[in-house]
Amino acid sequence: MDRLHSRKALFIYFLLTIVILYAGWSLMVWDDTRIKDFVLASVPAAESEDDHIFRIESIRRGDDGISITKDRIVIDGFIVRKGWPASRAAIHIILKNTETGQCYELPTTVVMRTDVTELLDDGNNYNMSGFHTDIPEGGVIDTEKYDYEICALFDVNNIPRIVASGTTVRTWEGGS
d(Cα 176, Cα 166) in Å, to the nearest integer?
A: 9
End-to-end CA distance of the chain: 74
> What residue spans define the domains of the chain?
1-33, 36-168
Beta strands in the chain (DSSP E): 36-38, 52-61, 72-81, 89-97, 103-105, 109-111, 130-136, 148-156, 159-168
d(Cα 86, Cα 104) in Å, to the nearest integer?
A: 23
Q: pTM for the whole thing?
A: 0.76
Per-residue pLDDT of the chain (176 residues; tens, 9 = 90+): 566 568 787 778 778 888 787 777 666 555 555 788 888 888 888 877 678 889 999 988 765 555 555 678 899 999 998 888 877 788 999 999 999 999 999 999 999 999 999 998 899 899 989 999 988 877 788 888 899 999 999 998 888 999 999 899 888 876 54
Domain topology for 36-168: Immunoglobulin-like (2.60.40)
d(Cα 13, Cα 21) in Å, to the nearest integer?
A: 12
